[in-house]
Chains A and B, each alone.
Chain A
Amino acid sequence: MIKYCNSGSGEMPDFCMYNQNNNTVMRIKRNIAVSETGFVFDPTSGESYSINREGQEIMALLKEGKNPEQISEAMCAGYEIDQASFEKYFYDFIGMLRQFQLIEEDE
């Protein structure tokens, strides 16, 4: 299970959560820009990515500071998917964000 924590860091809410395997806190890097069209820009690496509508919705919910349960609830209500299946895709998505170094992790 992922737990949500509020980092309270300023005007733009950070997404942060506890990894289920240890107590590492993960946050979407503050300088990552996500446009309304689903264009993600990492100004540190210069890399950019396109995410689909579903990814965009999840990123928007993350930016709003929603916790994984709330995200799961919102997505399952909007799409024909059960919670267990959604969580699988959700963790894959988080894994991808980590691989692209779009999230930072603190002990």
Chain B
Amino acid sequence: MSRRKISVALTGLNNTDNPGPGVPIIRGIRESAEFDARIIGLAYENLEPAIYMHHVVDKTYLVPYPSDGTNVLIQRILDIHKKDPFDVLIPNFDAELYAFMRAGETLEKAGIRTFLPTMEQFEERHKANLPDWGKKYGVKVPFSKPLVQQSDIDKLKKDFDYPLMVKGKFYDAYLAYNEEQVRMHYNKITAKWGLPVIIQEFIKGTEVNVVALGDGRGNTVGAVPMRKQYITDKGKAWAGITLDDKKLISLTDRIISGMNWRGGMELEIVKSFDNELYVIEINPRIPAWVYLAVGAGQNLPEALVKLAMGMEVKPFTEYEVGKMFIRYSTDLITDVKEFEKLSTRGEL
């Protein structure tokens, strides 16, 4: 069977110790038996490693940060599409999703397909809205409160016991044992991600994660649970293993069907010592460890592309338990001419 030629543009090329999901998603797409994909990388920084990995990314364009303005970013995407057309766009950062969801119609008119959550889905699973979300869908979540000013830190002891979690609205999470530590993390997080800062009850137990894909009509296309076996100082998984836990899969199904979730997602869950499951975060995109799911038998990146293309996707019903991933770092050698070309022309 000849494979269908497609072109996919995506972000998340920062394959660092705090990795974006770009490279593992590309690996999944490249392993597809149905697609012969040309990969267009969209990079925010000129040292994102995958830019220079020519066996992974065929062509890269620099794009402006969403903080430069949604219109500036979307216009750049449209300009790239005009010059070098692509079929599907996969944004991979929480912080850029808002811009791409808002521009959904514009992108569609230009012939760029995406498969993203709706604005309502994106908003209601926000860390700051988690208690309401838990109540609405009957899911256990830790008690949490948004902080919008530093003086509120003094009032935390009324509602929380220490230790507690201090979280940024998009990224970063720190455990704090006293007010001083909350203050320190608050300052660090607001400088990077702005307000609100979310204070969350600390649930003791084992953290497990699920990568899943919803078809937007309430069906789970695929779901693979994983436990981190080795964690970096940034809290990122450096090694992990797939689990056989039906409770995790049924919780994922319940969330996806309740929300009619559209697109990729990562559930961060704490299994308490009395085996209760608490959802601590819902990330609205595919995580960087997604290649483990591909290795375990669920090519979720390929399925995401198919959904974006409007193709029929048969839900995955199984995956291999006990599959492991172990990340590694390597030194990629490139020439300053490549760096120069990207830096001056904005493409490579």
Give me the interface of A with B, judged by CB distance under 8 Å.
31, 33, 41, 43-46
How far is it, in angstroms, between the C-alpha of A46 and the C-alpha of B209 when the chains are bound?
Answer: 12
The closest CB in chain B to the CB of A43 belongs to B244
Query: Does B243 sit within 8 A of A, measured CB to CB?
Result: yes
Check B322–A31 contact: CB distance below 8 A.
no
Shortest CB-to-CB span from B276 to chain A, Å, is 14
Query: Does B241 sit within 8 A of A, measured CB to CB?
Result: yes
Check A45–B322 contact: CB distance below 8 A.
no
Residues of A within 8 A of B59 (CB): none
Check A43–B322 contact: CB distance below 8 A.
yes
Which residue of B208, B229, B245, B322 is within 8 Å of A41 (Cβ)? Answer: B322
Query: Does B106 sit within 8 A of A, measured CB to CB?
Result: no
Shortest CB-to-CB span from B297 to chain A, Å, is 15
Check A45–B206 contact: CB distance below 8 A.
yes
The closest CB in chain B to the CB of A41 belongs to B322
A-B contact pairs, 15 of them (CB 8 A): A31-B244, A43-B243, A43-B321, A43-B322, A44-B243, A45-B206, A45-B227, A45-B243, A46-B208, A46-B226, A46-B227, A46-B229, A46-B240, A46-B242, A46-B243
How far is it, in angstroms, between the C-alpha of A43 and the C-alpha of B41 when the chains are bound?
Answer: 37
The closest CB in chain B to the CB of A44 belongs to B245
Shortest CB-to-CB span from A24 to chain B, Å, is 17
How far is it, in angstroms, between the C-alpha of A3 and the C-alpha of B35 when the chains are bound?
Answer: 60
The closest CB in chain A to the CB of B243 belongs to A46
Shortest CB-to-CB span from B333 to chain A, Å, is 36
Residues of B within 8 A of A46 (CB): 208, 226-227, 229, 240-243
The closest CB in chain A to the CB of B273 belongs to A101
Residues of B within 8 A of A31 (CB): 244
The closest CB in chain A to the CB of B245 belongs to A44
Residues of B within 8 A of A43 (CB): 243-244, 321-322
How far is it, in angstroms, between the C-alpha of A41 and the C-alpha of B61 when the chains are bound?
Answer: 45
Shortest CB-to-CB span from A31 to chain B, Å, is 6
Residue with the greatest number of chain A CB neighbours at <10 A, chosen from B208, B242, B322: B322
Residues of B within 8 A of A41 (CB): 322
How far is it, in angstroms, between the C-alpha of A33 and the C-alpha of B226 when the chains are bound?
Answer: 18
Residue with the greatest number of chain B CB neighbours at <10 A, chosen from A33, A43, A44, A45: A44
Given contacts A44-B244, A45-B243, A46-B208, 12 further A-B contacts (CB under 8 A): A31-B244, A33-B322, A41-B322, A43-B243, A43-B244, A43-B321, A43-B322, A44-B243, A44-B245, A45-B206, A46-B227, A46-B240
Residues of B within 8 A of A33 (CB): 322
How far is it, in angstroms, between the C-alpha of A45 and the C-alpha of B229 when the chains are bound?
Answer: 11
How far is it, in angstroms, between the C-alpha of A31 and the C-alpha of B243 when the chains are bound?
Answer: 11
Residues of A within 8 A of B240 (CB): 46
Shortest CB-to-CB span from B293 to chain A, Å, is 15
Q: Which 4 A-B pairs have the closest CB atoms?
A: A46-B227, A43-B244, A46-B241, A43-B321
Shortest CB-to-CB span from A33 to chain B, Å, is 8
Shortest CB-to-CB span from A100 to chain B, Å, is 12
Shortest CB-to-CB span from A106 to chain B, Å, is 15
Residues of A within 8 A of B227 (CB): 45-46
Shortest CB-to-CB span from A46 to chain B, Å, is 4
The closest CB in chain A to the CB of B321 belongs to A43
How far is it, in angstroms, between the C-alpha of A45 and the C-alpha of B208 when the chains are bound?
Answer: 9
How far is it, in angstroms, between the C-alpha of A43 and the C-alpha of B248 when the chains are bound?
Answer: 13
Residues of A within 8 A of B226 (CB): 46
Shortest CB-to-CB span from A91 to chain B, Å, is 23
How far is it, in angstroms, between the C-alpha of A44 and the C-alpha of B226 when the chains are bound?
Answer: 10
The closest CB in chain B to the CB of A46 belongs to B227
Shortest CB-to-CB span from A28 to chain B, Å, is 15
How far is it, in angstroms, between the C-alpha of A64 and the C-alpha of B82 when the chains are bound?
Answer: 68
Residues of B within 8 A of A45 (CB): 206, 227, 243
Shortest CB-to-CB span from A87 to chain B, Å, is 29
Report B210-251 CB contacts with A as 1/0, cut-off 8 Å: 000000000000000011010000000000111111000000
